[in-house]
Structure 1
Amino acid sequence: MNNDQTDTATTHIAVIDNGICNLRSVTKALEAVGAATHVIRTPAELPAAATGLVLPGVGALRDCVASLQASGLAGTVREWIAADRPFLGVCLGMQALFEYSEEGDTRGLGILPGKVVRFELPPEYKIPHMGWNTVRFTQPGSPLAAGLKSEGESFYFVHSYHCVPDDPSVVLATADYGGAFTAAIARGNCHATQFHPEKSQARGLQLYRNFVKISR
């Protein structure tokens, strides 16, 4: 549920509703780890109490970016990240940060240099990449990965495209599906995951708990 009460003891997280996201699962996961969530559809709905911003998404990136542009929230995301305020992108919310995607020849928000490409795999690998896979965290001491094993934790994926950052230093985690790919990124307080923490049971809740702590 949305909690619009101002409570200094509670971390308030704004969750963007772009019309193509698993909104209920994300907000319920955040609430389960103690956050108050505020679903926003326009910049005017962003509460002053919010100290963290989450952009989830499933489906087609073109629709996700078009929705953000139409609502004005594309600018909100850019400004929030430029100010180094705590941000978490999930699935399409990660892909949208980059400059370009092969999916529908789509221009992203251009916050991070790089592109999003379709998996090119041998016939024995199914596309989309769907199900549990081992994620290995590559940035020692990352606050988003606190309490998670750097050598490998299982998270749930559903995607046909993956991000290729120009700057390898932003790669927070990798996974393997016919070859290594970027599973999560981090630059300052901007974080994003290709996998779905809200579908990843206890490990996913730990990651959301970490984001809430970052947002305090």
Structure 2
Amino acid sequence: MTSPEGQRGTIGVLHPDSGNITSICDALARLDRPYRLMREPDMDGIDQLLLPGQGRFGAVMRFLHRHGWVEVLRDWVAADRPLLGICVGMQVLFASSEEDEDPGLGIFPGRVELLRAPKRPMMGWVPITWRQGDLPPGTAYFVNSFVVHESEHAIATVTYGAPFAAAVARGNTIAFQFHPEKSGAWGKELLATCLI
């Protein structure tokens, strides 16, 4: 999709080789938001980037390296342009992960670790309360085995075995460990709030 003049900007949705991005594309279509699926960083006309998440940390990082995204994403964030990460898309913003040896983007300091819980993966609905900002409270859908247990950039935390960051933000970069696109009407409202 492209953005006609006078309408909201186009969202570039990175399309890693792993994972299903149908849910996020359907959510953007329901919000009537123009988007373009991207494997290569052709940034012409792109106003916001969305890094969706399914799959392994290492597989997503290898995709980003293979297609020339690593420096593009770092420069994008350094310029304080809007970026939204979801699930593994949040995790790769950190420096490293226990899941794979591949280094992360290092946009946020910290390490992604295995959930400290007796049952993994975590699957289900958990209430979200924001530490700051004016985002709407609601109940989010999680499906994950790896998390960031502590981050100075956390704007929401939940507990599953041990507390972890449910969302992080810095400047115009925001990322969710949960799936807003699978979190019902509240998730739709949250996406609409976070998209330019």
CA displacement 1:101-142 (0-9 Å, x = unmatched): 000233111111111011122xxx31011111122211133x
Offset, 1:63: 0.3
2:22 alignment partner, SS class: helix
Kept in 1: contact 2:85–2:175 (CA 8 A): yes
Q: Which residue of 2 aligns with 1:9?
A: 7
Q: Which residue of 1 aligns with 2:154?
A: 171
Q: Which residue of 1 aligns with 2:120?
A: 127
- Give the aligned residue type for 2:126: N
Distance in 2 (alpha carbons) for counterparts of 1:84 and 1:164: 25
Pairing of 1:139-150 with structure 2 (within 5 A): 139-141=132-134, 145=135, 148-149=136-137
CA displacement 1:131-183 (0-9 Å, x = unmatched): 11122211133xxx1xx12xxx21111111101455x2x11111111222100
User: After the TM superposition, which segments of 4 or more aligned residues of structure 1 sit over 3 Å from their partners?
Assistant: none
Q: Which residue of 1 aligns with 2:131?
A: 138
Offset, 1:25: 1.1
Offset, 1:49: 2.2
Distance in 1 (alpha carbons) for counterparts of 2:63 and 2:75: 17
- Selected match of 2:142 from 147, 153, 157: 157
**How large is the Cα RMSD of the aligned pairs?**
1.4
Higher RCO, 1 vs 2 (CA within 8 Å, ≥6 residues apart): 1
Pairing of 1:69-148 with structure 2 (within 5 A): 69-121=65-117, 125-141=118-134, 145=135, 148=136
- Give the aligned residue type for 2:4: T
2:148 alignment partner, SS class: strand
- Give the aligned residue type for 2:156: A
Larger proportion of helix: 1
Distance in 1 (alpha carbons) for counterparts of 2:160 and 2:149: 14
Distance in 2 (alpha carbons) for counterparts of 1:159 and 1:194: 8
- Give the aligned residue type for 1:182: A
Distance in 1 (alpha carbons) for counterparts of 2:19 and 2:77: 20
- Give the aligned residue type for 1:156: Y
Kept in 1: contact 2:116–2:160 (CA 8 A): no
Distance in 2 (alpha carbons) for counterparts of 1:54 and 1:116: 20
Q: Which residue of 2 aligns with 1:22?
A: 20
Kept in 1: contact 2:83–2:174 (CA 8 A): yes
Kept in 1: contact 2:92–2:105 (CA 8 A): yes
Unaligned runs of at least 5 residues, structure 2: none
Aligned residues: 196
TM-score, normalised on structure 1?
Answer: 0.86
Kept in 1: contact 2:181–2:187 (CA 8 A): yes
CA 1:120–1:55 in 2, change beyond 3 Å: closer, same or farther? same
Kept in 2: contact 1:171–1:185 (CA 8 A): yes
Distance in 2 (alpha carbons) for counterparts of 1:173 and 1:11: 27
Kept in 2: contact 1:114–1:164 (CA 8 A): no
TM-score, normalised on structure 2?
Answer: 0.94
